[in-house]
Amino acid sequence: MRNNNRKNDEMREVKVTKNYIVHPEGSVLIEFGNTKVICNATIEEKIPRWLKGTGSGWITAEYSMLPRATHTRIQRESIKGKLSGRTMEIQRLIGRALRAAIDLEKLGERTIMIDCDVIQADGGTRTASITGAYLALELAVERLIDEGKLKEIPIKSKVAAISVGKVRNEMLLDLEYEEDSKADVDMNIVMNDKGEFIELQGTGEEATFTHSELLKFIELSKNAFDKLFSL
């Protein structure tokens, strides 16, 4: 039985607090159950060097966890002097997911940087981050429209993400930490509100999954996307 009598195909409660922090151009506190992520969007009127002169903008993301977001304390990456592979992997994923949501040429030669800082972790931090980051990005884009810096909304589609996994032969939606740590297969699915895939990452850590399991995982995720796109 899952915590709180949750069904296998049931998502945890999702809460969104907009304008959570006052300074950013877009700010959202997103909660997937006990997982809480602050997503802050910063607009910078400059672009990476390799984009200069192309007329195109850029979206990128950074991800971090407070040392005590987790059950046992993890050392700060600023003290270690470098990012872990896990952090790099996640922030590259968030960035790619958001760039698929936006027409970068319509954005113009500016960068929107999204900071996702996990203040409390209970599984699904990368999917909560992508979903919250998209909402912070929307707020930042609205600000650009309001300030007259953009005439046209550059958003092509909404973006959200959810995890599915196989735990003791049960197919589960939206794994919390206790489930995730026991999962044989773990899949993160990023979709847009047209039902298209943006990213699909399935991993059998010391296990495997079949073609028919892949199809079931995808089926299972649909419940979540309906809910997430109604936010």
Residues that bind a second copy (CB under 8 A): 21-24, 27, 34, 38, 40, 42, 44, 62, 64, 66-71, 73, 76-83, 85-89, 91-92, 96, 99-100, 104, 113, 115, 117, 119-120, 157, 192, 194-211, 214, 218
Q: Please, what is the minimum distance in Å from the beta carbon of residue 58 to a second copy?
A: 11
- CB distance 47 to 151 below 8 Å: no
Distance CA 51, CA 68 (A): 38
Q: Is 126 annotated as a binding residue?
A: yes
Residue 7 or 21: the one with the smaller Cβ distance to a second copy is 21
Angle formed at CA 211 by CA 209 and CA 217, multiple of 5 degrees:
70
Could you say which DSSP state residue 13 is in? P
Phi and psi at 7, nearest 5°, equal -80, 160
Q: Give the position of tokens 């847009």.
A: 192
Residue 66 or 155: the one with the smaller Cβ distance to a second copy is 66
Residue type, 104: L
Q: Is 125 annotated as a binding residue?
A: yes
Residue 7 or 105: the one with the smaller Cβ distance to a second copy is 105
Q: Is 68 annotated as a binding residue?
A: no
Q: Please, what is the minimum distance in Å from the beta carbon of residue 192 to a second copy?
A: 6
Q: Please, what is the minimum distance in Å from the beta carbon of residue 228 to a second copy?
A: 16
Distance CA 217, CA 1 (A): 19
Residue 96 buriedness (CB in 10 A; 0-12 / 13-18 / 19+): middle
Q: Please, what is the minimum distance in Å from the beta carbon of residue 146 to a second copy?
A: 19
Q: Is 124 annotated as a binding residue?
A: yes
Extract the annotated binding site for phosphate: 86, 124-126
